[in-house]
Amino acid sequence: MEIKKEIQSIAIMAKKASSEMRQLSTEMKNRTLEQMARALTANAKYIINANKLDIKTAKKNGLKESFIDRLSLDKDRIKQMSSCLKEVAAQEDPIGNMVSSVKRPNGLQIMKVRVPLGVIGVIYESRPNVTSDCIGLCLKAGNAIILRGSSNAIYSNLAIFEVLNKIALNNGLPEGAINIIKTTDRKAVRLLLREEKNIDLIIPRGGESLIKEVVKYSKIPVVKHYKGLCHAYVDEYADLNMAERVILNAKLQRTSVCNAIETLLVHKHIAARFLPLMIKRLKTQGVEVRGCLEAYNIFKGRIKKAVNKDWETEYLDKILSIKVVNSMNDAIEHIERYGSGLSEVIITDSCESAEHFLNRVDSACVYLNASTRFTDGNQFGLGAEIGISTGRMHARGPMGVAELTSYKYVIIGSGQIRAK
């Protein structure tokens, strides 16, 4: 089938299915999700074998270890995918929930009620767990979904889709409720972005170049998350032992993800005490450190000098930039200039410093004395996330089931008419 006709057919089928998805009972959705969770673990060997084909291709193409880490699946990761679906099933169903209700002087009862968004298109790179997470979240929120994964993960994504779609159809979900674009032809993405009559929202998950391309060509509203340039600021009143633990975790627990820190900001009053040991610990863990002139001098020239480009780079690797700042306001100004609006943390024992930082920094997630690695739908108790929004419209931060809904007004009258 010609690619254009294939994409149109998928979009039309999803639109039709979305009408039925709105009517699904909570019991039916939860039963399907629980069966999907069991099916993932029962078919783990099949999925892992498919994943090995993708990894083999990635290594053959010379892709970085950080990329292969995001791509890789094993029994533990599949078990985690399964757990996410179970957690989504256990959550409250937002559909039909009343957001507000007011009775007007003329007797009209005006109610604001949660409804599904409709059809959601997800365009994503490398991480095959996104396939199951997005299917689960859209199902719980009563939406149809169209998935378009990376060619680098095509075998993994198709295997996961096959396992989960079989469960969906066996439970009576309409055909087209869950869709995946099987072609790896890059034209498919731009064709998908023109289906504004059938698709209600596009969520891109991947690198900055992917998201910019989606925004440029989409006729459909887009949830944006350009990159995860996260910062940690160590205040002059910080517990330095705590700061060391938090920074090592925020940088190294998993370097290839968007919620890992890329820049460390340190108050000048504690820099000479804190940085020598901190940098030594980082280097012991294999981190390449790039520092401003002050940091460079403190560590006696045994690190690289940072350049301006470092402050605006999302490394997704074992590289960390360090800048010594004169004040907290300087740290905040640096974050405002270079940050991506995802996650920032202040490490301090000062209530005054904490309050000032948390109020001033305008990112989707702002932390006090905790690792930025918690910016994750599962860690926030959402079960999973369909993406992380760094914008300010509709949704912000990790997007779970509730963020995949809209609302409508239901008005109950008794014959009221408008006089003027």
Kindly state the average pLDDT of the residues 184-200.
95
pLDDT reported for residue 1: 59
- Domain co-membership, 71 together with 178: yes
- Would you place residue 67 in the very low, low, confident or very high pLDDT band (cuts 50, 70, 90)? confident
Query: Do residues 94 and 109 lie in contact, with contact meaning Cβ atoms separated by under 8 Å?
Result: no
User: In this predicted model, what pLDDT tens digit does every residue of 338-390 receive, in sequence order?
Assistant: 999 999 999 999 999 999 999 999 999 999 999 999 998 888 888 778 888 88
Looking at the structure, tell me whether residues 102 and 216 fall in a common domain. yes
Report pLDDT for 211: 87
Contact 122, 145 (CB under 8 A): yes
Q: Which secondary-structure segment (H or E) carries 113? A: strand 109-116
Residue 159 and residue 261 in one domain: no
391 within a domain of the structure (yes/no): no
CATH of the domain at 122: 3.40.605.10
Of the listed ranges 22-31, 47-56, 273-282, 396-405, the one predicted with least confidence = 396-405
Beta bridge partners of 406: 115
The reported pLDDT for the residue numbered 319 is: 96
Burial of 167 (0-12, 13-18, 19+ CB in 10 A): buried
Q: State CA 374 to chain mean position distance.
A: 12
Q: How far apart are CA 112 and CA 106, in angstroms?
A: 18
pLDDT at 229 over 70: yes
Neighbours of 380 (CB within 10 A): 14
Dihedral sign for Cα atoms in the order 398, 368, 355, 327:
negative
Same domain, residue pair 265 and 216: no
- Taking Cα atoms as reference points, which of 11, 2, 7, 10 lies closest to residue 188? 7
Angle, vertex CA 413, rays to CA 407 and CA 414, nearest 5: 165
Same domain, 61 and 181: yes
**152 occurs within a structural domain:** yes
For 83, the domain range is 3-223+399-412
In the chain, % helix, strand, coil (3-state, to 5) comes to 45, 20, 35
With bands split at pLDDT 50, 70 and 90, how would you rate the model's confidence at 206?
confident
For residue 405, name the pLDDT band (cuts at 50, 70, 90).
very high
- The domain that contains 345 carries what CATH number? 3.40.309.10
Q: How many C-beta neighbours within 10 Å does residue 309 have?
A: 9
Whole-angstrom distance, CA of residue 242 vs CA of residue 288: 22
Residue 379 in domain: no
- How many domains is the chain built from? 2
Closest CA to 412 of 102, 94, 97, 98: 102
How far is C-alpha 202 from the chain's CA centre?
A: 13
Residue 94: inside a domain: yes
The pLDDT value recorded for residue 357 is: 97
- 93 in Cβ contact with 26 (< 8 Å): yes
Clarify whether residues 167 and 82 are in a common domain: yes
Look-up of token digits 């365009």: 123
- Assess whether 163 and 278 both reside in one domain: no
In this structure, how many other beta carbons lie within 10 angstroms of the beta carbon of residue 172? 11
In a domain, 385, yes or no: no
**Mean local confidence (pLDDT), 87-97:** 95
Which whole number is the average pLDDT over 104-120?
A: 96
Weakest-pLDDT range from 119-133, 202-216, 351-365:
202-216
> 309 in a domain, yes or no?
yes
Same domain, 139 and 207: yes
381 in a structural domain: no
Q: Give pLDDT, residue 315.
A: 92
Query: Which range is most confident: 64-68, 253-257, 409-413?
Result: 409-413
Same domain flag for 174 and 277: no
Per the domain annotation, does 348 fall within a domain?
A: yes
Query: CA-CA distance, 340 to 314, in Å (whole number)?
Result: 9
Q: Which residue has the higher pLDDT, 340 or 42?
A: 42
Q: What is the mean pLDDT of residues 218-246?
A: 93
Q: What sign for the dihedral angle of Cα 101, 106, 107, 113?
A: negative
The confidence band for 66, taking pLDDT boundaries of 50, 70 and 90, is confident
| Integer Cα distance of 5 and 131 in angstroms | 23
How far CA 32 is from CA of 15, 35, 44, 136, 173, in Å, comes to 20, 5, 18, 9, 9
pLDDT of 82 reads 97
| 237 shares a domain with 143 | no
- 312 CB neighbour count, 10 Å cutoff: 15
Cα 154 from Cα 128, distance rounded (Å):
9
- Note the pLDDT of residue 132: 97
pLDDT of residue 161: 98
**What values do phi and psi take at 147, rounded to 5?**
-105, 135
The pLDDT value recorded for residue 160 is: 98
Reference 119, options 15, 4, 259, 7; nearest CA is 15
> Mapping DSSP to helix (H, G, I), strand (E, B) and coil, where does residue 226 land?
coil
Quote the percentage of the chain above a pLDDT of 90.
84
Helix (H) or strand (E) holding 345: strand 343-347
- Check pLDDT > 80 for residue 133: yes
> Does residue 217 sit in the same domain as residue 237?
no
State the average pLDDT for the chain. Answer: 94
Query: With 80 as the cut, is the pLDDT of residue 117 above it?
Result: yes
**Does residue 234 share a domain with residue 213?**
no
